[in-house]
Structure 1
């Protein structure tokens, strides 16, 4: 399909860019949906629909690639992913969708910081500077007088941590398995966890009414932002490096802000836009620094270098 490794990597990265587009678009969609349905009820129905689609796509041949370890890896990745969505969706109840988009994007700062203790690759100078830049942006984005972090902002910050763990897990645990089958295990795990949580903690675990806006939210988030997005991540992220993938994911908060202003008519102050810009700048600096160092030293980046 691909004439060489460079074109293979380029195609993979284009697919990951499309993932960020669909993710960014869902922030305002989900924010409206959870006004009609409790958070975990929305999550488990969304993930159940996506799991059905992925299971059909994988078929018997896809599931044949999963051994015991593959199922365990999928369950672990699905649990990390569920925690990220849980914190993000609860956070959306208490903050703007634009804020949530920018704060979720901080996962690309967590990635190089966590790669040290988890993958034995200590954080580079660029990652440390990126954290400082992004944290400065966080202060501006969430600025109040006196300054405080909105509880929703804190929840989305926790979400970004689990997103980073999932990105690192994809790099380590997906090789050798059919992407559709492994993604099914992840999404099915999320559906089960969400259903259990909804039954225990929420009075409503199934919609009493199905207005068009809720149906549209389920279809868009289940098909495009879940089934397609996580199949693409599982299939194509391993064809690039975690660093380059994390850099691509910085586009998500940009799309989130654009769609939030367009669909929800949200208004960000100049200070908030500046904060969001600093967060994105910190993300880009953290991820681009190793590539700039290698190029300045005349070393051609290897496809599998981190």
Structure 2
């Protein structure tokens, strides 16, 4: 039962992140990427402190350093994604970022020698193929923006992987608070160094930052970090890859984009990938043993 609750929370996270594409685009009309990142992380941290400030009493050294590691990785991932977008197309950026679906099981194998589950690996590659159908519009060529987007995918993969490991021993909410506090601190320092403090902020930008902070950051990462207690890192990455599907769906509904056959194929492949990772079809052990004899 807990597994299904965790999967449901990850699905909600994917839906919220899919909606974040439109909201982020609005925010970037008024603020630069570093200001948007600082705004969403700082506000999200304040919200968590108000809601779960009592958690500070139970903070341990492992929670502090693990949360700081997650926050640093998270900021690096967002920074690479944002800067990479300046040199490549949004569709290629989205596709290359989603490569984390494939990277997560490889990290588990290379760093911790976790056995590669063939169904999770198959699901990962099917999911990335589906994301390609959803996102890619032209030929796949590599430039500096693409390279940064690939680096971003690796960073997000590490974030997913280490979140999955850390929440097994530490309180998920405490880790999230420390993660956001670290990302907020880094983002504010970067804005100060760049001299990007805005003198005035339009209300549209404020609404966008509020949405990103409350839903795309606070709610989504709380759900993601809690859900990691009940699932594997690879399965989490596959479910979260549905972000691209919901981004497409919401664009069709609210931005009047045309749903093409290519997009439909991509969505179908992603759904198939999730079913494969969830169901893991296999012969019963008794039948397998009989065949071996």
> Shared topology, TM-score over 0.5?
yes
Indicate if the aligned counterparts of 2:163 and 2:225 stay in contact, CA closer than 8 A. yes
Indicate if the aligned counterparts of 2:33 and 2:82 stay in contact, CA closer than 8 A. yes
Indicate if the aligned counterparts of 1:57 and 1:180 stay in contact, CA closer than 8 A. no
Secondary structure at 1:114's aligned position in 2?
helix
Secondary structure at 2:51's aligned position in 1?
helix
Indicate if the aligned counterparts of 1:50 and 1:226 stay in contact, CA closer than 8 A. yes
Residue 21 of structure 2, aligned match among 20, 24, 27: 27
Residue 280 of structure 1, aligned match among 261, 270, 288: 270
The 5 Å alignment of 1:73-92 reads 73-92=66-85
Cα deviation, 1:164-192, whole Å, max 9, x if unaligned, reads 11111112112343332221110111111
Secondary structure at 1:83's aligned position in 2?
helix
- RMSD in angstroms over aligned alpha carbons? 3.1
User: Equivalent residue for 1:12?
Assistant: 6
User: Equivalent residue for 1:173?
Assistant: 166
The answer to whether residue 220 in structure 2 is matched with residue 229 in structure 1 is yes
Secondary structure at 1:230's aligned position in 2?
helix
In structure 2, how many angstroms separate the alpha carbons of the residues matched to 1:36 and 1:94? 20
The answer to whether residue 177 in structure 2 is matched with residue 187 in structure 1 is no
Structure 1 residue 238 displacement after superposition? 0.6
Indicate if the aligned counterparts of 1:105 and 1:252 stay in contact, CA closer than 8 A. no
In structure 1, how many angstroms separate the alpha carbons of the residues matched to 2:115 and 2:276? 16
User: Equivalent residue for 2:155?
Assistant: 162
Any unmatched runs of 5+ in structure 2? 287-293
Deviating more after overlay: 209-218 vs 86-95:
86-95
In structure 2, how many angstroms separate the alpha carbons of the residues matched to 1:90 and 1:276? 26
Distance 1:128 1:66, change over 3 A: same
Structure 1 residue 153 displacement after superposition? 4.1
User: Equivalent residue for 1:52?
Assistant: 46
Indicate if the aligned counterparts of 1:113 and 1:127 stay in contact, CA closer than 8 A. no
Structure 1 residue 18 displacement after superposition? 0.8
- The TM-score normalised by the length of structure 2 is 0.82
User: Equivalent residue for 1:248?
Assistant: 239
